[in-house]
Amino acid sequence: MLATVSACGTGVDGTPGADGVRDPYFPKLGNGGYEVTHYGLTLGYEPDSRHLTGTAEITARATKNLSSFTLDLKGLDVSGITVEGEAARFQRAGQELRVRPADELDRGETFRASVRYSGTPETITDADDAEEGWLETEDGALALGEPTGSMAWFPGNHHPSDKASYDIEVTVPEGLKAISNGELTRESTKGGRTTFAWHSAEPMASYLATVAIGKFEMKTSTTDDGLPVVTAVDPTQAKASEKVLARIPDILEWQEYNFGPYPFSSAGAIVDREGDAGYALETQTRPVFPGAPDTDLLVHELAHQWFGDSVTPKTWRDMWLNEGFATYAQWLYEEDHDGDSAQETFDALYEGDYYDDADDNEAIWDFPPARPTDAAHISDPPVYDRGAMVIHKIRQAVGDDAFYDIVQGWTKTYRHKNADTADFTEYVEQHAGGEEARRKVGRIWGDWLYGDGKPDHP
């Protein structure tokens, strides 16, 4: 389908931006030729009709001379696009929205594109059969993006390597609330509709953006250090969630002690109903839980604020850097709170008696954590459990003092940036200590991070 808006274009010397960044598992995600610095999303949603209206104001910088560029957008109808205030031509092809500005965009130029769109946003079933995108709930909707779902509700450069700040404004029928990332800057009601405006100043990958619409109970408190903590809980989950959510400040304090300063301007959680999603997700500043979480899960998703949200993978092949660290955070928290030591957890996994099901114990060794076999397996047990085992092996190799220096140095060096496995292995080797420690970590890469099957020695 070709859709155009009348525009008087002039001849350009630029070339089209790529329609993907060639991610190893999702080659069509993301786009080349520009980098987004800010998204301004103005949304309206009617739960009864499931109708979404939106305007996306995208501020970006051209990294080459561009005659056109693409945005990722799945479904939804685009009614018009402007670039620098002038009408632009556009074309749809699957998830690619090709935009042709009236005038060439020069390399280094900062430009603003405005996209008006509407329709019924899709629920996307990913390669691993997980549902994401725009999920319908009993009293509203829930938007979840990992790894491809964000393109179901706003146009953008939807690859984790391109992070940006966000302003997300959502208007819903009065009586409902709209929760998103960052800080609530405005709430106003007029004509039976309420608008909630949220601001995220720190860079965020698009898969970490969220909108939760429903009859939530919102509470705002602060940690001892003055960090705002915003929780939004479905009323059916309020009683079951109360005690565990009250532990957020203590958990964050423990995580700051171990991982370094908290990387964002607010924290909190969104608890929707059981069944509204099939998984919890580390949406930035405000993780989403389908039903009341236990402490273990809360620790995991809050740890992601450092590992995945602040330090974000360059490609989806680097998923183990998110999940291995967050899983190891669970082990450390249990170790520090009168549970099993991290070594005991490691040993149980290695010996094959951690899980009740033998198949679950064997699944840990299906592939190396840094080499998932394909897109359907980036969230499989080797990425989580064996990824955490890699982190523990590093701790064994370098000792506790050097280990925590490495962890905190890693989160500081790559704060609000992207990193891949090569960055991590190089960083560890540089800070491991003496020659013997460096030799040990080198063997870890071969046996545990990239090696096939179960290593011979724990």
N-to-C CA span, the chain: 57
The pLDDT, as a whole number, for residue 3 is 42
The pLDDT, as a whole number, for residue 458 is 82
Residues 66 and 12: their CA atoms lie apart, in Å, by 8
Helices and strands per DSSP (H, E), number in the chain = 11, 24
Rounded to 10 deg, the angle between the 435-444 and 387-398 helix axes is 170
Token digits for 173?
């029928």
pTM value is 0.96
The pLDDT, as a whole number, for residue 168 is 99
Q: In terms of C-beta density within 10 A (0-12 exposed, 13-18 middle, 19 or more buried), how is residue 404 classed?
A: middle
Low-confidence ranges of the chain (pLDDT < 70): 1-12
Residues 453 and 432: their CA atoms lie apart, in Å, by 26
Q: In terms of C-beta density within 10 A (0-12 exposed, 13-18 middle, 19 or more buried), how is residue 392 classed?
A: buried
76 Ramachandran zone, left/alpha/beta (phi>0; psi -120 to 50): left
Asked if 97 and 156 touch (Cβ cutoff 8 Å), the reply is: no
The pLDDT, as a whole number, for residue 380 is 97
The pLDDT, as a whole number, for residue 9 is 41
Q: Which amino acid, residue 207?
A: Y
338 Ramachandran zone, left/alpha/beta (phi>0; psi -120 to 50): left
Q: How far is CA 137 from the centre of its chain?
A: 21
Query: Is the Cα torsion angle 160, 332, 262, 286 positive or negative in sign?
Result: positive
Q: Is the bond preceding residue 173 a cis peptide, omega within 30 degrees?
A: no
The pLDDT, as a whole number, for residue 134 is 98
